[in-house]
Amino acid sequence: MERLCAVLGDKGCDGIFVLGSTGSWHLLDERQRRALTAAAREGAPASARLYVGISGTGPEQSVRIASCAAEDGADVVVVTAPLMCKYSQGELAQYFTRIADGSPLPLILYHHPRIPTPLEVETIAKLSGHPNIVGVKDTSMDMERFKGLVDRTAENGVAVMQGSEKLIHEGLKVGGAGCMTAPAPVE
């Protein structure tokens, strides 16, 4: 991890996202997550923003992981909806609010279509008013949805990031803040 982050930094990558949906975070215990976060911070240039996934089995675990990520050098944390069950949008709003309230780092919401409960645009718009929620990563591949996110969160200054490599250009054209893809985020 340290070597990979150094290579990405040397190639001009200004942001690195570890423990995301392709990072097998659900297979790792908290000690392993901490080791990967610390290695990423060690290898990445000081100027590169380090994003760390904190998704877990509940808001308490995610907040605990966020606190560890802060200690280990993360700059921003990223969280998905819970993996196992379907939730109402109201329940999701409560879930993310609890994490945002407890996280010592700024939080990015991560909408991924493989998660059982979609994070709807209206729910994200409401959550975007939380002072600790600073962004959204959307991997829906739906540009109408993405544009809706940009429009509905703009007044709160939330950065909407494209999660699909194929749609980076289109995302920027409609006002997206950048991209956060599987290889590495770019701002």
Other C-beta atoms lying within 10 Å of the C-beta of residue 165? 10
pLDDT of residue 62: 95
Question: At 28, which amino acid appears?
Answer: L
Q: Could you tell me which residue, 187 or 108, shows the higher pLDDT?
A: 108
pLDDT of residue 187: 45
- Check pLDDT > 90 for residue 140: yes
Which domains does the chain show, CATH number per domain?
2-131 (3.20.20.70)
Per-residue pLDDT of 6-43, as tens digits, reads 999 999 888 999 998 766 777 888 999 999 999 999 99
pLDDT of residue 186: 46
Quote the CA–CA distance of 38 and 35 in Å, as a whole number.
5
| pTM for this entry | 0.94
Per-residue pLDDT of 62-120, as tens digits, reads 999 999 999 999 999 999 998 888 999 999 999 999 999 999 999 999 999 888 899 99
pLDDT of residue 127: 98
pLDDT of residue 148: 98
CB of 121 closer than 8 Å to CB of 86: no
Tokens read off for 108: 């990015």
